[in-house]
Structure 1
Amino acid sequence: MHNMKRVLLVITITLLCCIQAIARQATWIWYPGDFEVWLGNKMQNRRTERGSFLPPFWKLDSHYNLIDFHKVFDLKEAEEADLFVEGEYNVKIDGKALFGYPKRISIPAGKHRISLKVFSQDRVPAIFVRGKQVVSDSTWLVTFEDKEWIDQTGKVSDQSATVWLNAGNWNFNDPAAAPSKFRLPVQPMQPAASEKTSDGTLYDFGKETFGFIKLNGVEGSGTVAIYYGESREEALSKDHGETIDRIDVNFKEKRDTTIQLSKAFRYVQVVPSTGVKLAPVSMLYEYADVKDRGSFTCSDNQINKIYDVAKYTLHLNTREFFIDGIKRDRWIWSGDAYQSYLMNYYLTFDSPTVTRTLLALRGKDPVTSHINTIMDYTFYWFLGIYDYYQYTGDKTFIRQFYPRMQSLMDYCLSRRNANGLMEGLPGDWIFIDWADGLSKQGEVSFEQLLFARSLETMGICADLVNDKTNAAKYKELSADLRTKLFSYYWNDSKQALVHSRVNGRQTDNVTRYSNMFGIFFNYFTEAQKQGVKKNVLLNDKIQKITTPYMRFYELEALCAMGEQPLVLKEIKDYWGGMLKLGATSFWEEYNPNKKGAEHLEMYGRPFGKSLCHAWGASPVYLLGKYYLGIKPTSPAYATYVVEPDLGGLAWMQGTVPTPNGKIELYCSTKQIKVKSDEGNGTLRFKSAKKPVSKNAAITDKGAGIYEMTIGKGKEYTVNL
């Protein structure tokens, strides 16, 4: 017993030491949001179109170039700390400036305030401080204006007007790995096949990919032209391919050289000019180092293939940020990113990529336009905040960036019309979806519905930061807008929300958009839901959706209405249709009525369509949330529900990541197994007969519905 106590004591001390070591981990820090803005600018300005620079067409903000960092330490003993700084800087201890640009500072025992002021124009001002106790981390306070002055007596001014925030950081835990040096990792890859063309070589890398072409063994003087293609047809089209490179070479001896800008492709045609020779090309595959934490497999092999390709599609579009597509835009679009956030919660649960994307999209004040210039994309940004808090419970992020939420919402509120509704003004792009003949005129119901949810989000965030006055205002505005939504747009005879109002009158047109969102926002009564399901969602006379972007929401609405068997068939037909055409990643748009090269066309260009678009990966989300049926019912899975629905499958199994681990489920027609790293869960399921479990009490809720409580770390088996 004595020895056991000693062992326990040693383990306890070791754990405490480890915890303290983790707490003292130094990391690079900066003004919150600035690295994200800076990195977003760098990434989004890498886009080229047929060799020409093509920047975004919306306002890009910049980082603050002068930042004040400080923290107060109470040291039991004196220590020294090393300083690493991105930019010019000065250092103060207790307000007294140190001479020059010190690389190491000495801090006496006792309580002391350490301050650094850093200026950098081309990079984000950042610091890395490494001592025993004195280390840089997110507990440091930062500001871009300290509002400090000294009067004629030499007294330092009152700094109560200064707004201090906790420093931003990511995972730069090595002083040599400065934020400005960040690059995505790469991996060498070889082509799967090659063939000669009339004046060059066509290489096939086997599937859609992204990275840098490497020219091997180049010798001679002249040019090498590289024609990239997501399809074979595109790579062979010298005149119409979306992306090309022309490299001048003058090598007397054989050399390898790598193209400087990464590109998307499956095929590349490499054409050297006369006098240039080269060996077969290879590539450096560039990727974001995020790991899968979610999974899904089932009895249907086609669904398994769709899930795997959807995963790969999402990974390709998960880069420094969530981007729309890897070939054409390579920009951060809020509508595309919003769907990536949701898929992410069911695959990698990588919160830093979510917050980086949110911050890069938001930028800085003043707000002069909608995000990406699109009204609905501004509202998707707010919805991204809503879901981020629901899945992660991250209150710190909300508190830090609440002022930016407020100023963006103030911009929206200032642009309401006389009816208190959002209507397109000069400079506003009302997108909604790519759909032929879709009207954007007047007061569109879809925009009001997204606006109402955005106001709800602001009410939640205002409560979290204890802004009671504005919380009440946002909640009142949201409730008022929801009342108007049904007063102005609900049509009893159509049993649906109409698409728009023009000159104060309902139009006759009914579209799917506001109606399907109204279902999973839970804005309808049960009777209205059934009316919408029959008259809109299951009505072939209503204009069909052809983009995976809006198909995402249409299928979610059907799942929310218990139509998993129908949705499973739709997934097999729609995403399976792309696979049958040879897709190795999912597309920006798919219309089964198109033939041959028509599938590659878009925007009036023969190869304008993206064949790897983030919004094509939605089965990852749908299968996790509505088949495995796992979703939080309060922030950070403090409470959650597991509602498995086979939808016609014989069996399925999978894992859904959570902030503190994962939830695992197996479900067949005869048995359910569930295990969770989270507590306070509810398993809710249907059964034709009374189910049995040896280690849990099952409650009969009536109508063939049963419930069971899920405890942390326990595995449960239910026989149906």
Structure 2
Amino acid sequence: MSSFAQQATWIWYPGDYEIWLSNKMQNRRTERGTFFPVFWKMDNHYVLMDFYKTFTLQQPKEVNIYAEGTYNVKLDGKAFEGMPSVITVPAGTHKINIKVFSQATVPAIFVQGKTIVSDSGWLLTFEDKEWIDETGKTSDISATQWVNADYGSFNNPLSPPSKFSLPTQPQAPVSIIKNGNTSLIDFGKETFGFLQLHGIKGKGNINIIYGESKEEANSDDHAETLDRIQFNSTVNTDSTLPLSKAFRYVKVETTSGITVDSVSMLYEYADVKDKGSFACSDTLINKIYDVSKYTLHLATREFFIDGIKRDRWVWSGDAYQSYLMNYYLMNDDETVKRTIYALRGKDPVTAHINTIMDYTFYWFLSVYDYYMYSGDSAFIKQNYPRMQTLMDYCLSRRNKDGLMEGLPGDWVFIDWAAGLSKQGEVSFEQMLFCRSLETMALCATINNDATNANKYKQLAADIKQKLFSYYWNEQKKALVHSRVNGVASNNVTRYANMFGIFFNYFTPAQKQEIKTSVLLNDSVQKITTPYMRFYELEALCALGEQQHVLQQMKDYWGGMLQLGATSFWEEYDPSKKGAEHYAMYGRPFGKSLCHAWGASPIYLLGKYYLGVSPTSSGYATYKIEPSLGGLQWMEGTVPTPHGNIALRCDTKQIKIRSTEGEGTLRIKSKTIPKGNNISVKNIDDNIYEISIKPGIDYIINYKGL
């Protein structure tokens, strides 16, 4: 391919391809062979799109045009005949318009010339507000709202976005147990893909039962996923089943008159590579990290989904955690952006994201987090209007006290927890609402919208004040769970309290009080989902309790490994026995045994043990606060937008190399740290700071506390 062709890419209206692709992906879910659609409103792409760009040429240029849909091409307002695949643009300054209609796929174009190519510099609109009067004069179209085109990684004109599919690779089972006309096939670990039947011959039925566990695969009546197929073939036939499934075990049963020679699969995966790493002196932690990586990769598909067996949907709360893990492992911006776009959908807003109040707030937080880890301000600017309309929806649903309270149609989720009240004004929802308003203020500032930045700051300050005046219980030294009819409850739960710690809403004294009264208090209802364990352990890490958290990780995630887990689960309760572990939602095998939120050790180990996080967008500045937490040594890499930060640490020495940004290393040491090319600043008793510049190998000797 020539150099000019490499600069061209397929372009479309921002968010439209992501919405179209998510509709296609999420509606693949089946439950025992029955189509199982999502619970919420599904938006669609705009079907008619006008693209344009103005070019100045020194000499005539030939341009190739590809489009998904029916299209016309105009040069300086004059249409070419038909749907030309090649046009010649004369020398001079000229405007090219391409208008595309496509109902089934997203209107998209690929324009390829030596100096004229399709890229994000093209502008487009879904309504051009143009008309022609009785004299033939074209109207003024100054009211048309034009936006910059969006694009992905589709750089081949013959491979349009609608043809995208995840790659696959063959995998064979590790064992097969045959019993008459039944085979129980084990692929060795949790996996995902298309089952392949080889050498089918005869007439009859083939029943296929999938299982994340052996018990599920053997349960004809209660397995979550299955296929029932009829064949009539006089010659040996191979068949790849059309829908991908999650499983470790597969039971294949044939009726008399039909045989199957062998079974294999095509493993389907998102081709994103690991850029981050972690290893340490504790072999169990290393195993937990490796299984966490595998879990996240399985749940990373076209989008970040919740789990691979049951829902296979894009849930905002699940995705929010996947984004954070991704920043410390794959650092793949494209999957983050696709997922954020898909979750937001279109205006008008008629419900919370996924119908869940808290999931709307996680969406706001995810946008700003993406900016901090990527430095991509263009994405913030592109999405700011969508953020405003979604926040307007939230503001319109406040109660008389200006707080968020579940209204008809709202699902207040928080967590799966027995007996957890969702009534009234829940403190956890106000906590997320406040943070979302702060996020809006920051994004307004990025968009030079000072008026709204000030408005959102004031709204956030009001909610924050009410959090403490309405919910703080001085006797219990904690925020209480809720208010009902204006009366605060006496019930203390972990949720708002732990979020307030890493949101930095509490004073240092309050943080210590909450650590004792809530986080380390066994009388407060315990958390049994990896979903909220993520935040509970983050709060403890933010309080410097890495040694305690390390043991918690070994007990909790290690407990799943002891039970034979090859990926981490949606929920784990150590008190359960045997097949009880697979039950959820009133179904014997309803639980997902590969759930993205189970992979949180990736994030915890990267941010709170290696201790690396950005302090300004895109790691222009960052901090490193390593904490061994009882480990003898640890080493790892944290990916950044244009490189990485590599760190090795033991109780006596730290080695660091960074490829970009200005870092600040903060360490605790009994003596003044020493090393090459370092300037040490003592900021407190036994706490020191050292500046880290890119491209320098630092070896720092210290005496760890």
Range into which the TM-score falls when normalised by the shorter chain? over 0.9
**Equivalence for 2:115:** 133
TM-score (norm 1): 0.96
TM-score (norm 2): 0.99
Identical aligned residues as a percent? 69
**Equivalence for 1:91:** 73
**Equivalence for 2:681:** 699
**Equivalence for 2:425:** 443
**Equivalence for 1:202:** 184
Residue identity matched to 1:515: N
- Quote the offset at 1:152 in angstroms: 3.1
Q: C-alpha distance in 2, partners of 1:503/1:198?
A: 65
- Quote the offset at 1:468 in angstroms: 1.7
Kept in 1, the 8 Å contact 2:4–2:112? The answer is no
- Quote the offset at 1:167 in angstroms: 0.7
2:455 aligned to which of 450, 473, 476: 473
Kept in 2, the 8 Å contact 1:545–1:551? The answer is yes
1:308 aligned to which of 281, 285, 290: 290
**Equivalence for 1:412:** 394
Kept in 2, the 8 Å contact 1:24–1:132? The answer is no
Residue identity matched to 1:398: I
1:287 aligned to which of 229, 254, 269: 269
State the SS of the aligned residue for 1:158: coil
Residue identity matched to 1:358: I
Q: C-alpha distance in 2, partners of 1:255/1:176?
A: 32
1:19-38 equivalences in 2 (<5 Å): 21=3, 25-38=7-20
State the SS of the aligned residue for 2:442: helix
Q: C-alpha distance in 2, partners of 1:392/1:128?
A: 27
Residue by residue over 1:374-408, the C-alpha shift from the partner in whole angstroms, topping out at 9 and shown as x without a partner, is: 00000010011121111112111111121111111
**Equivalence for 1:253:** 235
Q: C-alpha distance in 1, partners of 2:5/2:610?
A: 37
- Quote the offset at 1:223 in angstroms: 1.6
Q: C-alpha distance in 1, partners of 2:232/2:65?
A: 44
Q: C-alpha distance in 2, partners of 1:237/1:544?
A: 32
Kept in 1, the 8 Å contact 2:4–2:113? The answer is no
1:606 aligned to which of 576, 584, 588: 588
Q: C-alpha distance in 2, partners of 1:628/1:256?
A: 50
- Quote the offset at 1:691 in angstroms: 1.6
Residue by residue over 1:288-312, the C-alpha shift from the partner in whole angstroms, topping out at 9 and shown as x without a partner, is: 0000000000000000000000000
**Equivalence for 2:213:** 231
1:580-619 equivalences in 2 (<5 Å): 580-619=562-601
Q: C-alpha distance in 2, partners of 1:250/1:671?
A: 69
- Quote the offset at 1:461 in angstroms: 1.1
Q: C-alpha distance in 1, partners of 2:447/2:52?
A: 23
Residue by residue over 1:59-112, the C-alpha shift from the partner in whole angstroms, topping out at 9 and shown as x without a partner, is: 000000000001111111111111111100000001100000111011011111
**Equivalence for 2:306:** 324
Q: C-alpha distance in 1, partners of 2:158/2:276?
A: 33
Q: C-alpha distance in 2, partners of 1:422/1:363?
A: 22
**Equivalence for 1:670:** 652
**Equivalence for 1:430:** 412
State the SS of the aligned residue for 1:59: coil
State the SS of the aligned residue for 1:681: strand
Kept in 2, the 8 Å contact 1:149–1:157? The answer is yes
Residue identity matched to 1:258: T
Q: C-alpha distance in 1, partners of 2:4/2:568?
A: 41
Matched, 1:540 2:515: no
Q: C-alpha distance in 2, partners of 1:414/1:638?
A: 37
**Equivalence for 2:633:** 651
State the SS of the aligned residue for 1:519: helix
Residue by residue over 1:646-665, the C-alpha shift from the partner in whole angstroms, topping out at 9 and shown as x without a partner, is: 00000000000001110000
Matched, 1:681 2:663: yes
- Quote the offset at 1:22 in angstroms: 7.2
1:551 aligned to which of 533, 551, 564: 533
Q: C-alpha distance in 1, partners of 2:450/2:156?
A: 42
Residues 456 and 197 from structure 1, CA distance in 2 versus in 1: closer, same or farther, beyond 3 angstroms?
farther
- Quote the offset at 1:679 in angstroms: 2.4
Residues 154 and 288 from structure 1, CA distance in 2 versus in 1: closer, same or farther, beyond 3 angstroms?
same
Residue by residue over 1:688-720, the C-alpha shift from the partner in whole angstroms, topping out at 9 and shown as x without a partner, is: 122211221122222111111110111100011
Residue identity matched to 2:62: E
Residue by residue over 1:13-52, the C-alpha shift from the partner in whole angstroms, topping out at 9 and shown as x without a partner, is: xxxxx9x947961111111100000000000000000000
Residue identity matched to 2:219: S
1:169-248 equivalences in 2 (<5 Å): 169-197=151-179, 199-248=181-230
Residue by residue over 1:96-147, the C-alpha shift from the partner in whole angstroms, topping out at 9 and shown as x without a partner, is: 0000011101101111111100000000011111111111111111110011
Matched, 1:50 2:68: no
Q: Where do 5+ consecutive residues of structure 1 fail to align?
A: 1-17
**Aligned-residue CA RMSD in angstroms?**
1.1
Kept in 1, the 8 Å contact 2:6–2:155? The answer is no
Matched, 1:168 2:134: no
Matched, 1:457 2:442: no
Kept in 2, the 8 Å contact 1:445–1:514? The answer is yes
Residue identity matched to 1:665: L
Matched, 1:70 2:52: yes
Q: C-alpha distance in 2, partners of 1:699/1:74?
A: 56
**Equivalence for 1:376:** 358
Kept in 2, the 8 Å contact 1:382–1:454? The answer is yes
Q: C-alpha distance in 2, partners of 1:622/1:633?
A: 17
Residue identity matched to 2:164: F
Matched, 1:389 2:346: no
Residue identity matched to 2:54: V
- Quote the offset at 1:199 in angstroms: 3.5
Q: C-alpha distance in 2, partners of 1:274/1:427?
A: 51
Displaced runs of 4 or more, over 3 A: 20-24
Q: C-alpha distance in 2, partners of 1:199/1:470?
A: 69
Kept in 2, the 8 Å contact 1:307–1:619? The answer is yes
- Quote the offset at 1:527 in angstroms: 1.0
Residue by residue over 1:402-445, the C-alpha shift from the partner in whole angstroms, topping out at 9 and shown as x without a partner, is: 11111110110000000000001000000000000000011000
Q: C-alpha distance in 1, partners of 2:601/2:180?
A: 41
State the SS of the aligned residue for 1:683: strand
Residue by residue over 1:204-233, the C-alpha shift from the partner in whole angstroms, topping out at 9 and shown as x without a partner, is: 000000000000011111121110000000
State the SS of the aligned residue for 1:281: strand
State the SS of the aligned residue for 1:450: helix
Residue by residue over 1:595-647, the C-alpha shift from the partner in whole angstroms, topping out at 9 and shown as x without a partner, is: 00110010110000000000000000000000000000111111100110000
Residues 509 and 198 from structure 1, CA distance in 2 versus in 1: closer, same or farther, beyond 3 angstroms?
farther
State the SS of the aligned residue for 2:52: strand
State the SS of the aligned residue for 1:388: helix
Q: C-alpha distance in 2, partners of 1:442/1:679?
A: 46
Kept in 2, the 8 Å contact 1:234–1:240? The answer is yes
State the SS of the aligned residue for 1:559: helix
Kept in 2, the 8 Å contact 1:495–1:531? The answer is yes
State the SS of the aligned residue for 2:331: coil
Residues 504 and 607 from structure 1, CA distance in 2 versus in 1: closer, same or farther, beyond 3 angstroms?
same
- Quote the offset at 1:198 in angstroms: 5.3
Kept in 2, the 8 Å contact 1:546–1:591? The answer is yes
- Quote the offset at 1:149 in angstroms: 1.6
Aligned length: 702
**Equivalence for 1:521:** 503
